Amino acid sequence: MSSWVLWAIAAVVLALGEMATMGLFLAPFAGGAAVAAIVAAAGGGATVEWASFLVVSVVLLAALRPIARDHQRIRPRRMGTAALVGQSATVVERIANAEGVGCVKLDGEIWTARAYDDDEVIEPGTKVHVLEIRGATALVSQ
């Protein structure tokens, strides 16, 4: 079997291993094996094949691994109403659960609001914290 075929098989196996692990560790070696397969198909000797494999693999690993680590550290941002939980809001209409009234200005929008504690009454202008979002209603507390 030709050496370029072996290098191509190695590149495919390493690429599949990378897809299975998703750690961006095997991908540089798959790239190195692919380059070595091209060198072998062009008629390079075994020494040139191995040298190209090692050089390309090390360069790709040095370039891509720090990028992969940075992406692993980034926390996914919350989206939608989940992103509003924990934010501050300003009461624009008196919040009284017993009367079924209350609105807050949250993230630039007016939201229907209810006090998290049913007995609590919150006057306009008060800063509150959003504890939960239920449907289109913000549950808040001082």
**Are 68 and 84 in the same domain?**
no
Report residue 75 as tokens.
């926390």
Report residue 101 as tokens.
């009234």
- State residue 83's pLDDT score: 80
pLDDT at 25 over 90: no
Boundaries of domain holding 25: 3-73
- pLDDT tens digits, 54-112: 999 999 999 988 887 877 777 667 777 778 888 899 999 999 988 889 999 988 889 89
pLDDT at 28 over 80: yes
Structurally, how many domains does the chain consist of?
Answer: 2
SS3 129: strand
**Are 61 and 87 in the same domain?**
no
**Are 47 and 97 in the same domain?**
no
- State residue 63's pLDDT score: 92
**Are 9 and 56 in the same domain?**
yes
pTM for the full predicted model: 0.53
Report residue 121 as tokens.
């009454």
- Of 73, 96, 124, the residue at which a domain comes to its end is 73
- State residue 71's pLDDT score: 76
Q: How confident is the model at residue 136 (pLDDT cuts 50, 70, 90)?
A: confident
Q: How confident is the model at residue 24 (pLDDT cuts 50, 70, 90)?
A: confident
**Are 59 and 100 in the same domain?**
no
- Of 73, 93, 116, the residue at which a domain comes to its end is 73
Contact 28, 53 (CB under 8 A): no
User: How many whole angstroms separate alpha carbon 134 and alpha carbon 142?
Assistant: 18
- Of 35, 51, 73, the residue at which a domain comes to its end is 73
- State residue 22's pLDDT score: 77
Query: What CATH number is attached to the domain comprising 132?
Result: 2.40.50.140
